[in-house]
Structure 1
């Protein structure tokens, strides 16, 4: 009976526990530059939030990583990168941003991928496929995804990049 009571109390306490509301991460597009292989892009962006230490600063917990995802699908906005069928993806590194007025400046080298075999396989897109996808839209929506064990994943607010800027650097 004591064990049952202890389990009941544990469940009761867990049901009342709330996860803290995480602050929004706003990203500001700065520039895009091309790479020699033309199917990869460098995106430079800034944020007032320290994205690389987001969970440490917000909750005290270590984070598992951070990735920039950009949708190339017809629907510009996205909530979950797993649902994207064509996208740009890359890790980010912080660079010196003392001249920008933003607290943190990041660069992400993005690779273009598309899902095949009903979403089972991810295949790199060619430069011509990437250009075709970019020419079908006015903007590309990008979001940083970061996660921690206790909190799961967290997305930044969308950062809209003019598609013409990306087309220009690929050509």
Structure 2
């Protein structure tokens, strides 16, 4: 049904089943159900048996369920993590940059729900297919900061407005650390410039989409700009190939997703990352 980035390396996965998988053994008059989990293979290993551990997998406990009225189906929820079980360094979750490289060659990730109960053999569901494009979209989704944060007075930014609400102004993602990093904390009024406010930002710019072959403008073309803090802003280029205007408190390097054969130029932004535009929408 859906997959959504929650926090750090945790993703919420929602799916449906024609059976109550949380109380399956109890429904059939048996006790001893230990737990319900979901396993998704990232490396093509389709041995989901409890005696075997998939090296690259998405794994999580199925912990929430509701009956869909009038449909005789159950909607289930699991918090999953993408992990490399072959690592022994104490941090086995797969970092976003690496995860995208693993997923890109595939169309679907295959999953099964596994239920264990004492003293019975494990129960395995049929295979569920998750479109890789939906997973990648969430891996690349901006890290969402809380609207407000509570800080001790000693940790507050220096300001005459000591009682002004404080926000996480910028997230910073780095491939090496184990977690997303807080880039800066400030007053909520210092939040990112967006929309029409971008024109009033201390640093603002537009990019221009051009054909790589002859550098001519590329109008009416889909794009997605990735900001320095990981936010993603999508749009369609204007008749002259211009994107929308982006603004920020300080200078930042931008990334952009465009279709093959198209590039982006801007006199004041020499650092531009180009890749295929990944904007196709697939529902499941």
In the superposition, the TM-score normalised over structure 1's length comes to 0.71
**In the superposition, relative to structure 1, how do residues 166 and 63 fare at CA in structure 2: closer, same or farther (>3 Å)?**
same
Q: Larger Rg: 1 or 2?
A: 2
Residue of structure 1 in register with 2:6 after alignment: 35
> Any residues of structure 2 matched to 1:51-66 within 5 Å, and which?
51-66=21-36
Residue of structure 2 in register with 1:94 after alignment: 64
Residue of structure 1 in register with 2:82 after alignment: 112
Q: Size of the alignment, in residue pairs?
A: 139
Residue of structure 1 in register with 2:268 after alignment: none
What residue ranges of structure 1 are gaps of 5+ in the alignment? 1-29
**In the superposition, relative to structure 1, how do residues 83 and 122 fare at CA in structure 2: closer, same or farther (>3 Å)?**
farther
* Aligned equivalents of 1:112, 1:103: Cα separation in 2: 27
Superposed CA offset, 1:27-50 (max 9, x none): xxx11112242x332110011200
Deviation at 1:99, TM superposition (A): 6.3
| Contact 1:31/1:43, CA 8 A, preserved across alignment | yes
> Any residues of structure 2 matched to 1:125-144 within 5 Å, and which?
125-144=94-113
Residue of structure 2 in register with 1:154 after alignment: 123
**In the superposition, relative to structure 1, how do residues 100 and 165 fare at CA in structure 2: closer, same or farther (>3 Å)?**
farther
SS at match of 1:124: coil
| Contact 1:134/1:163, CA 8 A, preserved across alignment | yes
Deviation at 1:156, TM superposition (A): 0.7
Residue of structure 1 in register with 2:279 after alignment: none
Given candidates 134, 137, 142, the residue that maps to 1:168 is 137
Residue of structure 2 in register with 1:15 after alignment: none
Deviation at 1:102, TM superposition (A): 4.7
Deviation at 1:101, TM superposition (A): 2.8
Residue of structure 2 in register with 1:72 after alignment: 42
Deviation at 1:95, TM superposition (A): 4.0
Deviation at 1:109, TM superposition (A): 1.0
SS at match of 1:51: coil
In the superposition, the TM-score normalised over structure 2's length comes to 0.44
Deviation at 1:92, TM superposition (A): 1.4
* Aligned equivalents of 1:80, 1:147: Cα separation in 2: 11
Deviation at 1:141, TM superposition (A): 0.7
SS at match of 2:98: helix
What residue ranges of structure 2 are gaps of 5+ in the alignment? 141-284
Residue of structure 1 in register with 2:14 after alignment: 44
SS at match of 2:101: helix
Q: Looking at secondary structure, tell me which structure has more helix per residue.
A: 1
Indicate the RMSD between aligned Cα atoms, in angstroms.
2.4
| Contact 1:31/1:45, CA 8 A, preserved across alignment | yes
